[in-house]
Chain A
Amino acid sequence: EIVLTQSPLFLPVTPGEPASISCRSSQSLLQSNGYNYLNWYLQKPGQSPQLLIYLGSSRASGVPDRFSGSGSGTDFTLKISRVEAEDIGIYYCMQALQILTFGPGTKMDIK
């Protein structure tokens, strides 16, 4: 089973400031087709998760362009260029190269 670790686990943020979350995989998520099978999700309080980024860096439909994903192989980063109050919640990375697994989550809250 591929294990994902995230850091930090808690992230206090200031609206208008940038933020970033790291996701590290126990195995490379880069397939021979050149795609990294790593997604990012945000679960807002009391809601179901929503897809932000898929295949490492592709923004899902309707996701604001302040969200971006980068990385390859075993190290990935989700960046928010300017945090807004509506961005608070728990961010999860998920790998889809093998049987799906999720990271432990990073809880983002306003300072």
Chain B
Amino acid sequence: DVPLVESGGGLVQRGGSLRLSCSASAFSFSNYWMHWVRQAPGKGLVWVSRISNDGSWTDYADSVKGRFTISRDNAKNTLYLELSSLRVEDTAVYFCVRSYYTYDLDVWGQGTTVAVFS
């Protein structure tokens, strides 16, 4: 089993919306913080958002605050990222990542690609 599998990426027009999902397996999802990290084509890693294990705490990078919303469904072992008011600069591979504490991001999904065109 691949522990984290992202889906939901695609091609979307500037200003549009998208919902990414990350399905978790083979570990106790509800015990872990979860993060989204993105990587623009040919660029480095940029942390986007995180959510606590019970969903009560969320944080966002300034670049996405007010436009992206992270959530989770522990009954379905699934993490979500709602993307809205998309900009061309949001084009990237989006990885979901787990961490037991807030700092030990140890397992990464394979990523899902979001491409925003103008």
Contact across chains for A49 and B45 when beta carbons are under 8 A apart: yes
Interface size (A, Cβ < 8 Å)? 24
- Produce 1/0 per residue, B55-74, CB < 8 A to A: 00001011000000000000
- In the assembled complex, the Cα of A92 lies from the Cα of B47 at a distance in Å of 12
| Residues in B neighbouring A105, C-beta threshold 8 A | 44-45
Within 8 A of B (CB), among A68-111: 90, 92, 94, 96, 99-105
Contact across chains for B44 and A60 when beta carbons are under 8 A apart: no
Contact across chains for A92 and B103 when beta carbons are under 8 A apart: no
Instruction: For A102, give its contact among B45, B104, B108, B111 (CB under 8 Å).
Output: B45
A21 within 8 A of B: no
- In the assembled complex, the Cα of A102 lies from the Cα of B47 at a distance in Å of 8
| Known A48-B110, A100-B35; contact A92-B105, beta-carbon cutoff 8 A | no
Instruction: For A48, give its contact among B50, B61, B104, B108 (CB under 8 Å).
Output: B108
| Residues in B neighbouring A61, C-beta threshold 8 A | 106
Instruction: For B111, give its contact among A48, A50, A90 (CB under 8 Å).
Output: A48
A51 within 8 A of B: yes
A23 within 8 A of B: no
Contact across chains for B102 and A96 when beta carbons are under 8 A apart: yes
| Known A99-B47, A100-B35, A101-B47; contact A51-B61, beta-carbon cutoff 8 A | no
| Known A100-B47, A102-B45; contact A50-B108, beta-carbon cutoff 8 A | yes
- Produce 1/0 per residue, A26-70, CB < 8 A to B: 000000000001010101000011110011000011000000000
Ordered by A's residue number, 30 sampled pairs between the chains whose C-beta atoms are within 8 Å are A1-B62, A37-B103, A39-B104, A41-B45, A48-B95, A48-B108, A48-B110, A48-B111, A49-B108, A51-B106, A60-B106, A61-B106, A90-B44, A92-B45, A94-B45, A94-B47, A96-B103, A96-B104, A96-B105, A99-B47, A99-B61, A100-B35, A100-B47, A100-B50, A100-B105, A102-B44, A102-B46, A102-B47, A103-B44, A104-B44
Q: Which residues of A contact B (CB under 8 A)?
A: 1, 37, 39, 41, 43, 48-51, 54-55, 60-61, 90, 92, 94, 96, 99-105
